[in-house]
């Protein structure tokens, strides 16, 4: 079994995060069946996110950066997108929005993204989680991954960048515990 270590990102991790994001950025001519990123965040953006975000996490395998996750709480200042505005208008705080999850191509299908999400769920058991997934071009691996983790599709929106997104939601862990106990 692969040992995956999850830690909050340090300033020294930011160049690796930027490199991972750049490597998985959507190319204009093709989308990877293993997923892709559309956000065009710079090193300076990630420096700010490290201070502002609820979570900027790094996953490591054998001390090598294998992936990262960026999430903002509804009360945090962060990039404000169409999806963020839509969520804020419709859902009560506090909640958490996953902005990015990215796994190095060499480490896909080894549980890295699942461990990152598990960390976030355990750290935020009272918060509902949201994720906006690009639908055009299709991103079936991300949709399947989120649905496997218990996310359900709420709606589709046209984002500021012109790409269609689906907004997925997952109930807090705390509400699952209550349901399982029969209350």
Mean pLDDT of 91-115: 92
CA atoms within 13 A on the CB side of 182: 0
Question: In order of start, what are the domains of the chain with their CATH numbers?
Answer: 4-180 (3.40.630.30)
**Residue 66 phi, psi (nearest 5):** -110, -15
* CA 54 vs CA 61, 71, 93, 134: distances in Å: 23, 6, 14, 22
Q: Which two tokens stand for residue 35?
A: 């997923």
- pLDDT, tens digit (0-9, with 9 covering 90-100), for 124-137: 999 999 998 888 77
Name the DSSP class of 140. Answer: H
* CA 126 vs CA 33, 108, 113: distances in Å: 33, 29, 21
CA atoms within 13 A on the CB side of 19: 11
Q: What pLDDT band is residue 38 in, cutting at 50, 70 and 90?
A: low
Structure confidence at residue 119 (pLDDT): 97
Helices (DSSP H) in 71-159: which residue ranges?
82-90, 112-123, 140-148
Structure confidence at residue 181 (pLDDT): 47
Q: How far apart are CA 21 and CA 4, in angstroms?
A: 19
Name the DSSP class of 12. Answer: G
Please give the model's pTM, rounded to 2 decimal places.
0.86
Structure confidence at residue 167 (pLDDT): 92
**Residue 138 phi, psi (nearest 5):** -60, 145
In the block, tokens 């750290």 appear at 123
- pLDDT, tens digit (0-9, with 9 covering 90-100), for 105-160: 899 889 999 999 999 999 999 999 999 888 877 888 889 999 999 999 999 988 87
């Amino acid at each position: 079994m692969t040992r995956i270590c999850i830690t909050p990102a340090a300033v020294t991790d930011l160049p690796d995060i930027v490199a991972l994001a750049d490597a998985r950025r959507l190319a204009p001519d093709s989308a990877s069946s293993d997923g892709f990123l559309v956000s065009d965040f710079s090193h300076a953006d990630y420096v700010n996110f490290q201070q502002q975000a609820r979570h900027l996490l790094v996953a490591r395998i054998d001390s090598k950066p294998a992936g990262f996750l960026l999430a903002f709480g509804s009360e945090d200042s962060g990039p404000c997108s169409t999806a963020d505005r839509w969520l804020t208008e419709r859902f009560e705080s506090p909640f958490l929005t996953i902005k990015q999850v990215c796994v190095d191509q060499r480490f896909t299908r080894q549980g890295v993204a699942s461990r990152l999400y598990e960390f976030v769920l355990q750290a935020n058991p009272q918060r509902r989680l949201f994720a906006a997934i690009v639908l055009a071009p299709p991103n079936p691996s991300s949709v399947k991954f989120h649905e496997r983790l218990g996310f359900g599709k709420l709606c589709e929106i046209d984002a500021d960048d012109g790409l269609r997104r689906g907004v997925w939601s997952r109930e807090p862990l705390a509400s699952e515990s209550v349901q399982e106990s029969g209350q």
